[in-house]
Amino acid sequence: MPAVAVLRKGRIGWASPALRRMFALEASDALGKPFLELVAAEDREALAHALDETPGATSPPSAFRGSRADGSVFDGELSCAAFELPGGPGAVVAARDVSEQRRAEIRLAELAFHDPLTELPNRALFFD
């Protein structure tokens, strides 16, 4: 289930309970918080373009590393769509935690390219 937030000038104006759980935020801590503060520092610049609040703007899903209030990080994916909202332009952001999916992808790649008994690279990896 995606987590949703409404942004105004890059700040959270409303956050769904799922978004607050994803980032381990209390409701009072979420309101007014710059959304990019929830993103790992090394991903902020790359993700900033996806948070365009120009009405009609949309962004394809973008990968990012989220930073929880307790300091832990997770792999996430974010989409954004901008609208003319009452009181001015804003954006609706949908985010999901894809940590389990990423771990599964890494494990599948490991199984595809390494012998499970010896853990040595296999022929598929050699030819790749």
- Give tens-digit pLDDT for 81-113: 999 988 889 999 999 999 998 899 889 888 888
* 27 phi/psi in degrees, rounded to 5: -55, -40
| Paired strand residues for 59 | 80
- Residues 16 and 26: their CA atoms lie apart, in Å, by 11
117 has a pLDDT exceeding 90: no
Instruction: Check residue 128 and give its pLDDT.
Output: 67
- Residues 43 and 66: their CA atoms lie apart, in Å, by 9
- Residues 66 and 22: their CA atoms lie apart, in Å, by 9
Per the CB < 8 A criterion, the answer to whether 45 and 31 are in contact is no
Write down the mean pLDDT value for the chain. Answer: 89
Instruction: Check residue 73 and give its pLDDT.
Output: 93
